[in-house]
Amino acid sequence: MRGSDLMAGGFALLLCFSVSLFSQSPETLSTDQIVDKAYPSVALVLAGRGPGQAANSLGAAVVVRPNGILLTAYHVIKDAYSLQVRFKTGEVFDQVQLLGVDTRRDVAAIRITAAALPVLPIAIAAQAKAGDAVAVVSHPASLQWSASTGVVSAYRLADEVPGAGNGYRLIQFTAPASSGSSGGVLIDSRGNALGLVVGSLTGGQNLNFAVPIDSVLGLGDMAATKSFANGSTLKPPIATVATVNQPLVPPAPASVSNSGATPEAPEKSDLLSASKDRESILRNFKTMYVDAQRAQYFKADQLKAALGRNKDFHKLNIRIVDDRKVADTVLDVGYTFAWDFPFELKHQNTTIVLLSGKGIGPFSGVAGAASVASEFVKIAKPYRNSAEKK
């Protein structure tokens, strides 16, 4: 065979592969058909942050290659010690490797020891139009393999989305997605995988975003860069559902004196009011007000309850007060695009930022508050050793 014939044959094979990879289902499907088609290709990802720890991060992943290659949101597995991947069939994989990572787009490729996995056809995101029907399959608030529907709102630059970064495209959609939906798959009306869910904005109604899958498929071609520890001990959390007219977590009980009256709030320390020494304030402040208005997925009462349940918090000798005016410090908790909960501890009088950190985002509600409480205690503990000995 002549060289030109070989080249023509090779080009034909490459063209066939490309057409196969991006072939899209031609017929519009019903919602239940779309969801049933997606279920086998969507996995649950559990991440543990240290040896012997329970899962403290949860998200989804979508199969993009039948030989065990999946894509997930990078913030789900970032800094993970161990990983576990579960499918709706009941199959569990404890050995997971990290392949490529695109930090700009918040997407990572992982590999499990599997073959012949079902793969959804990949849609070309640039062809999606505003108003096109879409569905999402993910695990919001630990409610596994949940489905929601909506429409494409826009195909826009990340530069236009607060907190999303820049230099890439995002699919904006209205199908409900919340914390725990990270890594879920956005599917078009023909059952094609359109995007990978990475975040949302809470300043409006259903402002959710996905990275086009066709823009990150190459991550699965990269060599393994890390092997996570065995994830066999990881267990998914049980979703907590509020009953009618009751909060998800009851407020922490108020302290009551022996006489039955609520004690008066302590006066603010004059010494701390005058101080501008960050470390001195950290070691000596007594009271803290919790402000979680911007956290969106949990309230101040839930965070106070989580701090109260943390045995190490009690060793810090910090009293939580309900009146902001009398507090030495304020713990201010926010929310970011990728369902993270950054926090700052500020000195009330000088607004000096004493401490800062971030809770893990893929869990919402109780677990999100618990993550912030745990991270706060971890960061504050070195400064409060003297208080612990008093």
Cα–Cα distance measured from residue 11 to residue 334, given in angstroms and rounded to the nearest whole number: 52
State how far the alpha carbon of 136 is from the alpha carbons of 121, 139, 196, 275, in Å.
15, 10, 9, 52
Instruction: Read off the pLDDT of each residue in 14-27 and give the average, rounded to a whole number.
Output: 48
Bridging pattern class, strands 287-291 and 329-333: parallel
CATH code for the structural domain at 26-230: 2.40.10.120
Domain(s) labelled CATH 3.40.50 in the chain stretch across 270-389
Cα–Cα distance measured from residue 274 to residue 195, given in angstroms and rounded to the nearest whole number: 53
pLDDT digits (tens, 9 = 90+) for 92-118: 999 999 999 999 999 999 999 999 999
Q: Does domain 270-389 have CATH number 3.40.50?
A: yes
Contact 177, 148 (CB under 8 A): yes
368 vs 325: which has the higher pLDDT:
325
Instruction: Read off the pLDDT of each residue in 75-98 and give the average, rounded to a whole number.
Output: 96
Confidence of residue 30 (pLDDT cuts 50, 70, 90): very high
Q: Average pLDDT of the chain?
A: 84
Domain(s) labelled CATH 2.40.10.120 in the chain stretch across 26-230
pLDDT of res. 42: 98
Q: Evaluate if residue 390 carries a pLDDT over 80.
A: no
Q: CA torsion 378→379→380→382, rounded to 10°?
A: 90
Cα–Cα distance measured from residue 10 to residue 4, given in angstroms and rounded to the nearest whole number: 10
Q: Evaluate if residue 140 carries a pLDDT over 70.
A: yes
pLDDT of res. 25: 56
pLDDT of res. 179: 82
Q: How far apart are the first and last CA of the chain?
A: 88
Confidence of residue 367 (pLDDT cuts 50, 70, 90): confident
Residue 187 burial (10 A CB sphere; 0-12, 13-18, 19+)? buried
pLDDT digits (tens, 9 = 90+) for 155-182: 999 999 988 999 999 999 999 998 889 9
pLDDT of res. 11: 36
- SS3 sequence of 182-242: CCCEEEECCCCEEEEEEEEECCCCCEEEEEEHHHCHHHHHCCCCEECEECCCCCCCCCCCC
385 vs 67: which has the higher pLDDT:
67
Q: Evaluate if residue 83 carries a pLDDT over 90.
A: yes
CA nearest to 117, candidates 76, 142, 85, 84: 85
pLDDT of res. 368: 82
Instruction: Read off the pLDDT of each residue in 193-220 and give the average, rounded to a whole number.
Output: 92
pLDDT digits (tens, 9 = 90+) for 186-203: 999 999 999 999 999 876
pLDDT of res. 327: 95
pLDDT of res. 24: 57
Instruction: Read off the pLDDT of each residue in 64-89 and give the average, rounded to a whole number.
Output: 96
- What percentage of the chain carries pLDDT values higher than 90? 64
Confidence of residue 275 (pLDDT cuts 50, 70, 90): low
pLDDT digits (tens, 9 = 90+) for 280-320: 899 999 999 999 998 878 899 999 999 999 999 999 999 99
